[in-house]
Amino acid sequence: MSNTNASFLKEMGITTWISRDSSANEEVPVTTAEQTAKAVNLSVENISPRYQWWFIGDQAQGDTQLLLQNIVRLLGLTSHEWLWLKPSDKLAIAEKLNPEVPSVAIAFGGPAAQKITGEREPLNQLRETVLAMSGDDLEDIPVLATFDLSHLINRPKDKALLWQDLLLAKSVLHSL
């Protein structure tokens, strides 16, 4: 079973999976990448990341922190495959960028998207568009703008639009 499926099952509260195809109906525990690495005595830090996700916006706290954790879990990201940065910390991306690993940036909120891309349009015009990060060493990193996490807490119906933005980011990342 893939880690993505395991993440979805775990999110639904299913910790054991029974295959209908299995003649013995063996129970298969649902595990995360970290649990799998520990089971085979590997350090998670020694596992090469598949992707680099750069989440950029105001510092997540309280309910927004919980929302961010759920986003990371639903995307199936391990702790070394994503990083949260303030828009003013854009230069940290250049320092931590691994050119051999595909990268994508998610800008939470219009001001964050405008700051890292140099665009001037409002968020509703920046969404659903693949933008480029401004800066000589960073122009190859695609940026997708979405709602600020606090906006999503106050307007939960917009979480469906957030999910569309994340799916677009995944498709961009897979095409790199």
pLDDT tens by residue, 16-36: 555 555 454 555 455 555 555
pLDDT of 70 higher than 90: yes
Query: How far apart are alpha carbons 107 and 56 in whole angstroms?
Result: 5
Same domain for 73 and 20: no
Q: What was the pLDDT predicted at 7?
A: 64
What's 49's DSSP letter?
P
Instruction: Provide the domain count of the chain.
Output: 2
- For position 78, which CATH number holds? 3.40.470.10
> What CA–CA distance (Å, rounded) separates 78 from 34?
7
Q: Are residues 35 and 65 in the same domain?
A: no
Average pLDDT in the chain:
83
Q: In this structure, are 100 and 19 located in the same domain?
A: no
Please indicate, yes or no, whether residues 12 and 74 belong to a single structural domain of this protein: no
Q: Which domain holds residue 9?
A: 3-44
For residues 147 and 161, membership in a common domain is answered with yes
Q: Any bridge partners for residue 142, and if so which?
A: 132
Query: Can you tell me the distance from the alpha carbon of 40 to that of 111, in angstroms, rounded to the nearest whole number?
Result: 44
pLDDT above 90 coverage of the chain, percent: 57
Assess whether 54 and 40 both reside in one domain.
no
Residues 57 and 96 in one domain: yes
Residue 45 has pLDDT above 60, yes or no: no
Pair (71, 15) in one structural domain = no
Residues 24, 60, single domain; the answer is no
Closest of 114, 51, 109 to residue 83, by C-alpha: 51
User: How far is 167 from 114, CA to CA, in rounded Å?
Assistant: 21
- Whether residues 164 and 105 share a domain: the answer is yes
Closest CA to 67 of 51, 58, 127, 13: 58
Please tell me whether residue 81 adopts helix, strand or coil conformation. Answer: coil
Q: Which amino acid is at 113?
A: A
User: Is the same domain home to 118 and 163?
Assistant: yes
| For residues 57-80, average pLDDT | 93
The residue among 50 and 4 whose pLDDT is bigger is 50
Residue 130: which of 160, 93, 168, 161 has the closest Cα? 168
